[in-house]
Structure 1
Amino acid sequence: MSEDATVASGGSDAREFDVVVFGASGFVGELTTRYLADHAPAGTRIALAGRSETKLVAVRERIGGAAAGWPVIIADADSPASLDAMVARTRVVCTTVGPYLKYGEALVVAAATAGTDYVDLTGEVPFVRFSIDKAHDIAAASGARIVHSCGFDSVPSDLTVWALYRTIADDGAGELTDTTLVLQSVRGGVSGGTIDSVRVIAEQAKDPQVRRLMLNPQALSSGPGSPPRAGMRSEPSDLNIVSARKVDPSLSGTLAPFFMASHNTRIVRRSNTLLDNAYGENFHYGETMNVGDIPVVSAVTAGLVGVGTGAFLGAMSLRPTRILLDRILPAPGDGPNKKTRDRGHFTVETFTTSTTGRRYRSRFRAHGDPGYKATAVMLGESALTLALDRDSLPERHGVLTPAVAMGDALIARLRRAGCTIDAVAL
C-alpha cells in the first residue's frame, strides 16, 4: 500500500529560512549547529531556535564563523503558538528536542500543517506511530516531508537496505529476501538523550496497548489508524542470536542482538511499505552485532548481550532499579568531550541474498562518535538535502523515512561528507 501523495510544496520558496535548528542550545543541537556552520553551502539561510535567547546567543558566539550572523527564534515545545510561528518561517525544521514522546508531538503536527519539512533523531516507536496517525494525512495534503530517525537511529540501517535494493534492481537480480544488518565495529558512548528516551519508553510500556505496539514488528508499516497485527515470529527477533554463517558464508562466529534493532527494523519495514513492498514479497529484516569470530567465545558473549539487553530494559521499567541506574547513566544534555567524539567510529554491513540466488553486501562507515559527531553529520546533511536538493527528491509527502524521502540524494551528500556507503555483489 503506497502512502505517497504527489503535491507541490506550497510556498516554501518564499520562506525566510532554509533550515531552523530547534534545540540548538542542547548538546546534540549545538553539535549539529556547528556542523552546519562549517559545511552548509554559502548563502544557506539558517536560524537557531529554542526556549532561551541567552543560551542561543551563547551557542552562536561559541561557534562563530558562519553562525555569527544567524538569527535566533524563541520557541517552546509547550507553546503551540510559538511552534506554529517558527515552522511558518522555514523550509525545514531540524529538531533535537527529545524525548520526542514528551516534547515532540505539537511540533510534528505544526510542521505537517504548515507544509514544512521536518527531520529529527527519534528512536521512539510510539512517537513515530503517533506521527503517522496524527500527521501523515495532513503532511501529504500540505506537501510536507516528515522524516524521523535521521541519525545513528536509523540512517545506516535504512540507507544500506536502500543501497542493496538499488544495486540488485540495476543488476536485474530479482528482489531481496532475508536481510540482516551486522554492526561490525563501533566506538562511542551512550547519549544522555537516548537514555532519557529509554526512560520515557519504559514508563509508557506499562500501558498494555503501548507494550503491544512496541512488540509488533510491523508497528510502523501502515498508514493512519491501527497498525497491522503481526506475530512476533513473522520477522527476526530484536533479541536474535544467530550463527554468522547463516547471515553470510563470509562471516564466522555468533552474532549478538543489536540494542537499536527494536526501532531501526520498524523504520526499514516502513520504507518497504511506503515503496509498495519494492524490496520483495519475501523480504525480512533483522539486526545483529559482531562480538568476535571465535566460535565459543562469541557464542557466550552473544548470549550475555542478549540477557543483558533484556535485563536493562526490564530494570528501566522498575522504579527502584531505575533510580539506581540514573545515578550512573548519562543525564540528558551530557556528552563526551571533543577528543572522545573525534576518536569514535562505526561500520555496519548489511547482507542479503536475492531471489536469483546472488549474494550482496552493503556497507556504511563513518568517523566520529555514532551518537554525537556522526549523528550531527547525518542529521545536518538530512536537513540540507530537504532544503537544498528539492529538485532531485521524489514527489513523496507525509510521514516518511530517510530512504523513502531522500534516498540517493542523501547518500550523495553523506559520501561528500566523508561517509562510505556502497553495495556490491559478493
Structure 2
Amino acid sequence: MTSTESTDQPSTDRTYDIVVYGATGFVGRLTAKYLAEHAPSGTRIALAGRSRQKLEATRRSLPGVATEWPLVEADSTDTDALRSLAESTRVVITTVGPYAKYGLPLTTVCAEAGTDYVDLTGEVLFARKSIDANHEIARRTGARIVHSCGFDSVPSDLGVHVLHAAVAADDAGDLTDTTLVVTSMRGGVSGGTVDSLRTQIEEVKKDGSLRRLAARPYSLSPDRSTEPDLGRQSDVVLVKGKDIAPGLRGWKAPFVMASYNTRVVRRSNALRDWAYGTAFRYREVMSVGSSVASPVIAGAVSAGLGAMVLGMTFLPKPVLDRILPKPGDGPSPSAQENGHFTIDVYTTTTTGAHYRSRVKASGDPGYKATSVMLGESALALVHDRADLPGGGGVLTPATGLGDALVNRLRAAGFEIWAKKV
C-alpha cells in the first residue's frame, strides 16, 4: 500500500456537499461568491463561522440561490462544534488562519470523520503538525486533507505535475534541475499571509528546534531518511537566467514563498514514490527583468526579503501592528480584477531534454485567483471523485487533486500547459 492509498472511502451520506468555514473573512467571502456563481446546480453548500450575524451579512451579499444557503455556527476553539460541522459535510473549505493558531483541531476532526478538507495555508510548521497528527488517520478513513489550495501552492505543485506528465508522455527520462520562475505578477499583499508569517516567526523564536525544522528542504516529506541526498538546496538564490534554461535572459531574484512551495512540491514527489526522479532538485525565483540592471535589482530584492524577516523578528509588536496589513484586509474590487500572475517551470531531464510548463491566470493572485483555485479544489472533491489520484491522507494539490483540478482550472480560464522546448 502506498502512502496515498486508503482502506475506506468517505461517506457521501451528508447534509452538505461543501461547507465554507471562515465565510465572513475577506477570502472566505470571495470563495463563497465564486461558488455561488460557478458551483453546478444542486451542489449543497453552507456557510460557517463563529458569528451568525456576520454570516447572515455575507449570505445577503451573495447572488441567486446562495441567499438561502444554510448557516453553521462553529468557533475554532469548540472541538464539538467543529466535529459536528465535519460530520455534516463531504468537504470543508477553511480560510481561518493563521492555521498554526486555529487550524489543527479542524483538520483532525475532518480526518476522523472521513471528510475531505482544503485550505490556504503557507505555514510549514502547521503543515508538519497536520501531517504528523492526521496522515495515518486520513489514510484509514479515506479523507483527503489537501493543504495549500490557493496561490500557495497550486501553481507550483500543478506546474511541476503537468511538466512531469509531458516528460513521461515523451519517455524523456526523469526531471533533474527544475526551477519555477515567477515571470510576471501583480497583486496585493494579504494581511492573512503576513499574519501567518508573523505567527511562524513567533513560534521559532520560542523554540530553536522549530527554526531548524522550518529550514530543512524536506521538512514536509513523509520520511526524510528515504529522501535522496542532493546536497544543499537553498531557498534564497540569485541565479542567471541562462543557468535555468537556454535563452532565458536576466538575473532572477528569490521568491518570497519559495521556502514553503518547494517543500510542498518535494512532498508531492515523495508521496508519488519519487515519480519526478531521485535527482529532482527544485527551486523558485522571480523575474526582475532582463536589462543590464537585473543583477542589481535581484540583489536588492534578496536584501529586502532578508530585512523584512529581520524586522518581523525583532521589531516590537505595536510597531508591526501599525505598519503591516491586518488579517481580513484586502485590495479593492478593481485591484482584484487588474491583478494577474504567470509562472513558468523549466526542467532538464536525465536524457538532456529541456521542457517548460506554464500556469497563468488573471485576477489578484492572493485573492481573486486564489478564490478560484480554492473553490475549484472543493468542487473537484465533490464532483470528480472518479478522476482523483490515490486515496486518503494529508496530501498536496498534485497528489490529492491532480488532473481533476488541472482540468477544472483550465475550464475556469487558467492557462496551463507543458511542452518540450
TM-score (norm 2): 0.97
How far did 1:250 drift?
Answer: 2.0
Report if the CA contact (8 A) 1:222-1:273 is conserved. yes
User: How far did residue 5 of structure 1 move?
Assistant: 2.1
Runs of 4+ with >3 A deviation: 227-233
How much identity, in percent, do the aligned residues show?
55
Counterpart residue type for residue 280 of structure 1: G
Instruction: Tell me whether 1:3 sits opposite 2:22 in the alignment.
Output: no
**Aligned pair in 2 of structure 1 residues 47, 334: CA closer, same or farther (>3 Å)?**
same
Shift of 1:323: 3.4
User: What is the aligned partner in structure 1 of residue 339 from structure 2?
Assistant: 344
Is 1:378 the counterpart of 2:377? The answer is no
2:14 is the counterpart of 1:19: no
Q: Which residue of 2 aligns with 1:356?
A: 351
Whole-Å Cα distance in 1 between the matches of residues 165 and 227 of structure 2?
Answer: 27
State the partner residue of 2:253: 256
Q: For 1:132 and 1:100, locate their aligned partners in 2 and report how far apart those are by CA, in whole Å.
A: 13
- Alpha carbons 1:140, 1:398 under 8 Å: kept: yes
SS in structure 1 at match of 2:323:
coil
Instruction: Tell me the secondary structure at the aligned position of residue 346 of structure 1.
Output: strand
- After superposition, where does 1:273-288 map in structure 2 within 5 Å? 273-288=270-285
Q: Distance between the aligned counterparts of 1:107 and 1:234, measured in 2?
A: 37
Q: CA RMSD in A?
A: 1.5
Partner of 1:218: 218
Superposed, 1:3-402 pairs within 5 Å as 3-11=3-11, 13-206=12-205, 207-222=207-222, 228=225, 234-295=231-292, 297-320=293-316, 322-402=317-397
Say if 1:180 and 1:287, in contact at 8 Å, map to a contact too: yes
The question of whether the paired residues in 2 share the 8 Å contact of 1:217 and 1:231 is answered with: no
Check the 8 A contact 1:216/1:230 in 2, yes or no.
no
Q: After superposition, what is the alpha-carbon deviation per residue over 1:380-408, rounded to whole angstroms, capped at 9, x for unaligned?
A: 00010111111111232100000011111
- Structure 1 letter corresponding to 2:103: G
Q: Distance in 2 between matches of 1:50 and 1:96?
A: 10
Offset of residue 66 of structure 1: 2.7
Structure 1 residues 197 and 68 mapped into 2: Cα distance closer, same or farther (>3 Å)? same
After superposition, the C-alpha distances for 1:144-186 in whole angstroms (9 at most, x for unaligned) are 0000000000000000000011110001111100000000000
Residue 317 of structure 1 and its aligned partner are, at CA, apart by 1.1
1:326 deviation in Å? 2.6
In structure 1, how many angstroms separate the alpha carbons of the residues matched to 2:63 and 2:227?
51
For the 8 Å contact 1:216–1:232, the answer to whether it is kept is no
CA distance in 1, matches of 2:331, 2:96: 19
Partners of 1:408 and 1:365 lie apart in 2 by 16
Deviation, 1:137, is 0.6
Give the superposition deviation at 1:424: 0.7
Determine helix, strand or coil for the equivalent of 1:266. Answer: helix
**Matched-pair contact (CA < 8 Å) for 2:37–2:63:** no
After superposing the two structures, state which structure 1 stretch, 389-398 or 355-364, moved more. 389-398
Structure-2 separation of matches of 1:423 and 1:117: 29
CA drift at 1:409: 0.6
The match for 2:414 is 419
What is the rounded CA distance, in whole Å, between the counterparts of 1:104 and 1:409 in structure 2?
26
The whole-number CA distance in structure 1 between the counterparts of 2:285 and 2:366 is 18
Distance (Å, rounded) in 2 between the aligned partners of 1:324 and 1:379: 33
Tell me the secondary structure at the aligned position of residue 194 of structure 1: helix
Contact 2:100 2:125 in 1 (8 A): yes
Provide the C-alpha distance between the structure 1 equivalents of 2:402 and 2:247, rounded to a whole number of angstroms: 28
SS in 1 for 2:328: coil
With over 3 angstroms needed to count, the CA separation of the structure-2 counterparts of 1:389 and 1:229, relative to structure 1, is closer
Provide the aligned length of Structure 1 versus Structure 2.
420
Structure 1 counterpart SS, 2:370: helix
Instruction: Answer yes or no: is the 8 Å Cα contact 1:2–1:273 preserved in 2.
Output: no
Distance 1:73 1:278 in 2: 41
* Cα distance in 2, alignment partners of residues 2 and 128 from structure 1: 20
SS in 1 for 2:28: helix
2:109 maps to a residue whose letter is: A
SS in 1 for 2:27: helix
CA deviation string 1:238-282 (max 9, x = no partner)? 111001100001211100000000000000000000000000011
Residues 34 and 235 of structure 1: CA distance in aligned 2, closer, same or farther (over 3 Å): farther
Distance 2:229 2:258 in 1: 14
1:347–1:366 Cα contact (<8 Å) kept: yes
SS at match of 1:220: coil
Does the C-alpha gap of structure 1 residues 18 and 277 become closer, same or farther in structure 2, counting only changes over 3 Å?
same
Cα distance in 2 for residues equivalent to 1:229 and 1:308? 35
Q: 2: distance between equivalents of 1:2 and 1:140?
A: 10
